[in-house]
Structure 1
């Protein structure tokens, strides 16, 4: 038995996941593999694509015992006699915008889809195949079915359109969005004092604006919201459009911190901005992140609730709401409190608000114990 041949091997935008199509003389498969840094967190996800030989009548246990990819049983596939081998030049990979799921196309038609949410929970580890005609429960393989019935078609079409937007009109799309954000921020936080590119030359374009008003330096990102965050689709389902896009902000009192300390906080925001996609995670209300900060602080908490100003008129992105999350420094004991039980980050935010803390970062005492 010959070793499988890799027909395509393509990483996502941040190299956190790899999409691979391979086949031997019996069967073709599509896989999503996590990068080496994420192998302890996520497991590979398979998607059968087609049998190249007559399908077995029952589960292909013999192949699995030999460490080979199993053929799909005859009752579940639309070609029980087998199909021609896949040709590498006819294969295309389409990554979902979050970078955690992908589809494989053959002559621009969908062959298989591994949705991003299948990555996060073994119970949700499902793949869809065009040549599957019935659910093979033991393989967690589902029929792709027809357009208009399976939402995966619309999801892949959406991803194709998204990448086309940024492939063909990147400069125009970015300049329009960039201008909208800067105008919205200037309306609330004073004139733009300085602008920093924080994307490191990678797509998507991301910037950090520095604004000043009434003795406060405002640091706000723009462009982070171009990509939806991983995880959110699984966690929020139909409500995901309200939670999957974000921008980050800090408001720092000039009387409490030096210019050097404020610029260090700007660097902190820059580092956090790409975190959801570099680590295949997400950020939301009450999350905490370790950070190098002036004593006594050692972390930040993420929150839109701490903001007590007028609503910031930031634009929607791909018809989604964009959450403006403010980063507020917290101490080690405060962070431990936020991690003491499920959803305690919300409790910490309530305590902070109770003690008249808001989005403006000042020197302060540690919150008293309950």
Structure 2
């Protein structure tokens, strides 16, 4: 048996996962590997692509005992006599928009798919292969099947179209979306005072706008919503379009905080903008994020759209999805611990804040009572 040869190795947009195609003289496989920083959180995900030799009649236990990739049994592949080796020049990787799943294409046809939701739970660790004809007992490899019969085709077509929208530095997609966001924000908060790029020169373009109205500084992001967040598709299933895109906002009283403190909060927002994709996580109602950039006694923020009690802000839809505008409210250490004291206690914290007449405008305040 020959050692496997790597045919393609491509990271996602933030280098958190790597898509790899390998083959030896028996079999070809597609893998998603986590980066070194995420190896304790996520495990590699395999996807068989094709046998290069006659398929075994039974599960290839011998190869697995040798630490080698197993061939697929003859009953479950459409080429029991084997196919020719893959040629690396004909391979292409397509990442999903979230960056947590990918497909490998061969001559622009889908050969295998590892969906993003397969990353998060070993029970959901399923892959789809074009040359697979059936699933073995307790096997996690599924047939890709034909177009129209498997949603993976539409999912990858959608990803291909998405990346085409953002090809080239002069992409029109950003200028259109940027204008829509600025108009929505200025309609409520007046002309933009300052505009800060917060993308660090990386795609996607992201920015933070500073507005002022009635002694309140409003800080609002634009561009975060270009990418849907990881995890959400698994957690919300058919309802995912209502939860997977977000922008961030803060409203800070100028009477309570100095310009330096306000800009430190802007720095916090800038750091949070890329958090879901750098850490392969997500943000939603009641989530908390700790930060050293907040003035005492605050040490974290809670994420919420429910705290906002102003006029409706007409955010555009992005790729047909609702965009959630999440306001960041600073909280103390004890308040954060309360939000983490039991499942979904972040909602309880928000209810307590609203009960004590707290809203999206950040002011100096006393710690909420512990009862």
Q: Provide the TM-score with structure 2 as the length reference.
A: 0.99
After the TM superposition, which residues 197-208 of structure 1 pair with which residues of structure 2 at under 5 Å, given as runs? 197-208=197-208
> SS in structure 1 opposite 2:299?
strand
> SS in structure 2 opposite 1:249?
strand
CA displacement 1:253-306 (0-9 Å, x = unmatched): 000000000000000000000000000000000000001211100000000000
After the TM superposition, which residues 47-196 of structure 1 pair with which residues of structure 2 at under 5 Å, given as runs? 47-167=47-167, 170-196=170-196
Deviation for aligned residue 1:369: 1.4
Runs of 4+ in structure 1 over 4 Å off: none
After the TM superposition, which residues 186-335 of structure 1 pair with which residues of structure 2 at under 5 Å, given as runs? 186-292=186-292, 293-335=294-336
Deviation for aligned residue 1:39: 0.3
> SS in structure 1 opposite 2:166?
helix
Confirm or deny: 8 A CA contact 2:111 2:129 kept in the other structure.
yes
Deviation for aligned residue 1:168: 5.2
- Greater Cα shift, 136-145 or 242-251: 136-145
> How many residue pairs get matched?
370
Q: 2:139, 2:13 → 1: CA distance?
A: 28
Deviation for aligned residue 1:189: 1.3
**Alignment gaps of 5+ in structure 2:** none
Q: 2:278, 2:158 → 1: CA distance?
A: 22
Deviation for aligned residue 1:138: 3.7
Deviation for aligned residue 1:169: 7.7
Q: 1:137, 1:262 → 2: CA distance?
A: 58
What's the C-alpha RMSD, in Å, of the aligned pairs? 0.8
Distance change in 2, residues 1:147/1:170 (3 Å): farther
**Alignment gaps of 5+ in structure 1:** none
Q: 1:307, 1:331 → 2: CA distance?
A: 19
CA displacement 1:170-189 (0-9 Å, x = unmatched): 53111111011011001111
Confirm or deny: 8 A CA contact 2:8 2:21 kept in the other structure.
yes
CA displacement 1:29-50 (0-9 Å, x = unmatched): 0000000000000000000000
CA displacement 1:78-102 (0-9 Å, x = unmatched): 0000000000000000000000000
> SS in structure 1 opposite 2:193?
strand
Q: 1:340, 1:308 → 2: CA distance?
A: 27
Deviation for aligned residue 1:19: 0.0
1:350 counterpart residue number:
351
- Greater Cα shift, 162-171 or 47-56: 162-171
Q: 1:169, 1:308 → 2: CA distance?
A: 38
Deviation for aligned residue 1:137: 3.9
Q: 1:170, 1:231 → 2: CA distance?
A: 30
Confirm or deny: 8 A CA contact 2:307 2:350 kept in the other structure.
yes
1:44 counterpart residue number:
44
Q: Provide the TM-score with structure 1 as the length reference.
A: 0.99
> SS in structure 2 opposite 1:159?
helix
After the TM superposition, which residues 1-12 of structure 1 pair with which residues of structure 2 at under 5 Å, given as runs? 1-12=1-12
> SS in structure 1 opposite 2:171?
helix
Q: 1:189, 1:327 → 2: CA distance?
A: 17
Deviation for aligned residue 1:139: 3.5
Distance change in 2, residues 1:101/1:59 (3 Å): same
> SS in structure 2 opposite 1:46?
strand
Confirm or deny: 8 A CA contact 2:327 2:360 kept in the other structure.
yes
Confirm or deny: 8 A CA contact 2:165 2:171 kept in the other structure.
no
Distance change in 2, residues 1:137/1:115 (3 Å): farther
Q: 1:33, 1:256 → 2: CA distance?
A: 47
